Structure 1
């Protein structure tokens, strides 16, 4: 019996399925792509770096030979071994929770999701390691039961091998389904290959998902939960070809990043814009920044209130203005403070003392602050800290954007990794782009002097920046990040 003898998933109705149970495979069924290489490559690179990615890439042809000509199970185990050998289990769990969900969500099969989301109880049965897929499936798709391959561990590290009964393929999938549901037959089974037939035969209705990787993925607006926090260094899903390109590019990219950093350190800030252009960095400035006027003792400088995208925000803000703008912050990389051409003022978190320090600094120059307090990626702004609002009425919101097709290979932010490397990864992109949008200075009626509370001022600035970037505001703060 071949999988193609089953009716296709398009013929499965999704009406009145609230009381039904659906069991589905993952790769090639619930996801459009049949290959899971890219997800293992993400784990390899984000946990083990470029050498682990190279090891996985070199092992892939061996895995392919086993998979197609000897045993599907053995081929998959080769990939497991190359990816997980020696990795800390906590690191694998962290990547599964913060890196993989974005890429999984971008690959949801529309017809499979239509059927899957209509059912009341949802079960995913996959050869992939449960430790990798469970956070995504349960947190973002509302899956009730995840049955995946269990990896062997020793003293908190993965051995590269799998636990009995082995990789969940073929009859192992059927056995896992029987042990979970007993004599109860799930209403719907979805699969995409012949080795899915054993578990599909245990369902009342079975449907085949044809291999159509070019079918358009489920739109983000139809997903049950958005991804607000996302980590990981790679912008694109690392297919084998992309993985080869990344490995080849990294030595050149690192040299290019060092060159760009050196130029930024050696040249004065007024020349940074031109130096960026020569070295392939594109700095886009929109809006009309306020003129720099010498301040008298009784006048306050401008406080630029910015969203926070990367550790380099203050440098690009200064370059766009053609003058150094000191930045006030509660925490940043010590190495960045030492080598940055922009003065960084680290605050004490003593509210009264910090307020007096900032007010004195504003008498001397303009300042910049990042009230999100932490970098974020997707189309969301974290809750703005209102602490800046009472310090001055000279408030200029600034929208920073680095994400919308402006980085082709590497993200310049991280939560799991070392922050001081963020600058290198951003500048390792072939043509990194920063867009800075200066918005209008806050009108008097929206300042604390007019009677507005500091929370109202902060919320208003967050709102205008979010509208400018077509982002959504959230009530989440840095404390919510990856908890």
Structure 2
């Protein structure tokens, strides 16, 4: 069961994604591939309209001061009306993170005692089904169905819980061993609880005393999630966020100008004064210096190859700031806007192994190079699989461990516009970046393949950061969050 405050946070989070659509231009985004599609392009999804998000903010007091039932219906109507059914991915990409943060350890332990699990919610089923099935391992999810017309949600809910529950509980073996877990303040679940052998009810006071479910107790690890909000969208936090946005936007512009046009000796203290925090450490600096003195007589024909994990598009930039020295960055995907505004040189890879190797060799011959072999960002403490290409390009590789913390907005996205990533990151009041340079690693040789070296570098970065290494790839991330393979159309055409 979902409480009133929990429902409010969920709907605020979903509506915030709609509010971001004001940055979009539907006419520019919808392409006419043929005359057959032209008819449908005249009526783009209303999720692209900016007034959707503002409408939610306008109607929010109705939800808070009216009854739960009426308030929920109004907010669902405002949030879902005009959204294309097949394009709705927030239920799987965004909401599970916030749902997991609201799971209490005590209720989770009761849930794990049961055999077959049935989740019942007054919220739309499309919002909760993915979370309950994938992260709490609930076999049956019963929620309210949203009515659809011509492939678009109309914002009206249809309650068929009684019929569905009757079908589930037809089995006598199930109906005789039912344990109910619900909200003490809800009385409309009588049809469900009347079938339960044991009933556990929790009040709002009880829920406030619950312990948060530890990450290591998650039935399935939360590795990927999307959305811009990094805060839990409680009423107070949402109000603070809305009040901060105008100031944050101005602050982001100031930080951008400082980072683009001022030299390192000036921009670093100014950005620090504005709230940007950077910590860079090199534990073996003395050792590396002594080695460089021994090799001082050798002519330097190539630059150093730095390999880092990927947290945001600012990874190479903060590394450059910390060293007070420009470095060339190679990327697998970077928006044209970010590429144009980047204060350091960036080179786009085209996912052709031979061409990418030649390009990186060329860049190394001109100076230092930094690469993120994961190919995409990961917000949680996990490392994705490293592409082994970098291990074959240099005899010496310098791993660089990157980590960042934000307090309000995420500077990454899978389903949104990547050109807004820098803006949202810089809108945070005080984002923190930590850069740690590790010991050099030998590149791939006859006795070591590139895959072995790549896995070793990944493990060393994982140990330094306390992150868990995985075999997941960029494609896995985009299939889960955006429903595609993460390759832009232009790249496909080149192929």
Scaled by the length of structure 2, what TM-score is found?
A: 0.83
The answer to whether the 8 A contact 1:283-1:433 is kept is: yes
Q: Does 1:202 align with 2:198?
A: no
The answer to whether the 8 A contact 2:19-2:54 is kept is: no
Q: Does 1:424 align with 2:423?
A: yes
Structure 2 residue aligned with 1:103: 98
Alpha-carbon deviation of 1:269? 4.3
Partners of 1:247 and 1:154 lie apart in 2 by: 33
User: Is the deviation greater in 307-316 or in 272-281?
Assistant: 272-281
2:273 corresponds, among 258, 278, 286, to 278
Give unpaired runs (5+ residues) of structure 1: 1-25, 167-171
Q: Does 1:333 align with 2:299?
A: no
Q: Deviation per CA, 1:83-106, whole angstroms, max 9, x where unpaired?
A: 2222233443x1111111111111
Q: Does 1:38 align with 2:12?
A: no
2:135 corresponds, among 113, 137, 140, to 140
Alpha-carbon deviation of 1:312? 1.5
Structure 1 residue aligned with 2:317: 315
Partners of 1:329 and 1:482 lie apart in 2 by: 17
Q: Does 1:453 align with 2:428?
A: no
Match of 2:434, SS?
strand
Counterparts in 2 of 1:325 and 1:127: CA distance versus 1, 3 Å = same
Q: Does 1:27 align with 2:15?
A: no
Partners of 2:348 and 2:299 lie apart in 1 by: 23
1:224 corresponds, among 219, 234, 244, to 219
Structure 2 residue aligned with 1:58: 58
Report 1 or 2 for greater relative contact order, CA contacts < 8 Å, sequence distance ≥ 6. Answer: 1
The answer to whether the 8 A contact 1:270-1:323 is kept is: no
Counterparts in 2 of 1:295 and 1:409: CA distance versus 1, 3 Å = farther
Match of 1:426, SS?
helix
Structure 2 residue aligned with 1:407: 406
1:262 corresponds, among 242, 250, 257, to 257
Q: Deviation per CA, 1:167-192, whole angstroms, max 9, x where unpaired?
A: xxxxx754542243237425222222
Partners of 1:270 and 1:296 lie apart in 2 by: 30
Counterparts in 2 of 1:477 and 1:160: CA distance versus 1, 3 Å = same
Partners of 1:64 and 1:98 lie apart in 2 by: 26
Q: Does 1:129 align with 2:131?
A: no
Give unpaired runs (5+ residues) of structure 2: 21-49, 480-495
Structure 2 residue aligned with 1:470: 466
Partners of 1:241 and 1:467 lie apart in 2 by: 37
Structure 2 residue aligned with 1:20: none
1:213 corresponds, among 199, 202, 207, to 207
Partners of 1:156 and 1:270 lie apart in 2 by: 56
The answer to whether the 8 A contact 1:45-1:53 is kept is: yes
The answer to whether the 8 A contact 2:328-2:363 is kept is: no
Q: Aligned runs of 1:231-380 on 2, under 5 Å?
A: 231-269=226-264, 271-287=266-282, 299-380=301-382
2:477 corresponds, among 467, 478, 481, to 481
Structure 1 residue aligned with 2:436: 437
Partners of 2:302 and 2:366 lie apart in 1 by: 8
Alpha-carbon deviation of 1:380? 0.3
The answer to whether the 8 A contact 1:234-1:409 is kept is: yes
Structure 1 residue aligned with 2:69: 73
RMSD: 2.3
Partners of 1:156 and 1:460 lie apart in 2 by: 48
Structure 1 residue aligned with 2:42: none
Partners of 1:75 and 1:347 lie apart in 2 by: 49
User: Is the deviation greater in 148-157 or in 284-293?
Assistant: 284-293
Match of 1:372, SS?
coil
Q: Deviation per CA, 1:8-47, whole angstroms, max 9, x where unpaired?
A: xxxxxxxxxxxxxxxxxx215xxxx853110111111123
User: Is the deviation greater in 265-274 or in 111-120?
Assistant: 265-274
Counterparts in 2 of 1:119 and 1:450: CA distance versus 1, 3 Å = same
Match of 1:416, SS?
coil
Match of 2:392, SS?
coil
Q: Deviation per CA, 1:115-154, whole angstroms, max 9, x where unpaired?
A: 2222221101110110000000111111111110111222
The answer to whether the 8 A contact 1:287-1:439 is kept is: yes
Scaled by the length of structure 1, what TM-score is found?
A: 0.85
Alpha-carbon deviation of 1:298? 6.1
Structure 2 residue aligned with 1:5: none
Structure 2 residue aligned with 1:48: 19
Match of 1:121, SS?
coil
Partners of 1:27 and 1:216 lie apart in 2 by: 17
Q: Deviation per CA, 1:268-306, whole angstroms, max 9, x where unpaired?
A: 345432232132211111125667999977633110101
Counterparts in 2 of 1:51 and 1:233: CA distance versus 1, 3 Å = farther
2:108 corresponds, among 113, 116, 141, to 113
Q: Deviation per CA, 1:294-336, whole angstroms, max 9, x where unpaired?
A: 9977633110101111112111111111011001223311111
